[in-house]
Structure 1
Amino acid sequence: MSSTTDRIKGLANEAAGTLKQGVGKATGNTRLQAEGKVQELKGEAQQTLGKVKDGVRNAAGRI
């Protein structure tokens, strides 16, 4: 995946995870809260991967 794709998917996963956590909290569903947290963390990791890819590409371009 490209760095942009990683970042977009990461943002989407973070948003979905945050929403799941909120719904889980509002309904008292701890399983949904946990799933939301996992999805949010997955999104953060995807965004970080996209940033790393950008950094590597930029560093390679300067060599």
Structure 2
Amino acid sequence: MTMGDTIKHAGEEAVGKAKEAAGRATDDPELQAEGRGDQASADVKQTGDKLKDAAHDITGR
């Protein structure tokens, strides 16, 4: 995994948080849900990144 992926996935999570907050502020449940979905997607990607890093640490490849 590259540092670029880490930054990209963290950025996706931040965008999701912003969308969720904007949805709350404007009383837009669809935007809130989209933001939560973006955050969940970013969390899955970040978990995958962590697993790849752990596997690399164990195998050295």
TM (normalized to structure 1)?
Answer: 0.85
Identity of aligned residues (%): 35
Q: Which runs of 5+ in 1 are unaligned?
A: none
1:46 counterpart = 2:45? yes
Moved over 6 A (4+): none
TM (normalized to structure 2)?
Answer: 0.88
Measured in 1, the distance between the counterparts of 2:50 and 2:7 equals 11
Higher relative contact order (CA 8 A, sep 6+): 1
Contact 1:7 1:50 in 2 (8 A): yes
Q: Which runs of 5+ in 2 are unaligned?
A: none
Measured in 1, the distance between the counterparts of 2:4 and 2:44 equals 13
Q: CA deviation at 1:46?
A: 1.0
Query: Partner amino acid for 2:48?
Result: L
Query: Partner amino acid for 1:27?
Result: T
How is 1:1-63 mapped onto 2 (pairs within 5 angstroms)? 2-61=1-60
Please, what is the CA RMSD of the aligned residues? 1.2
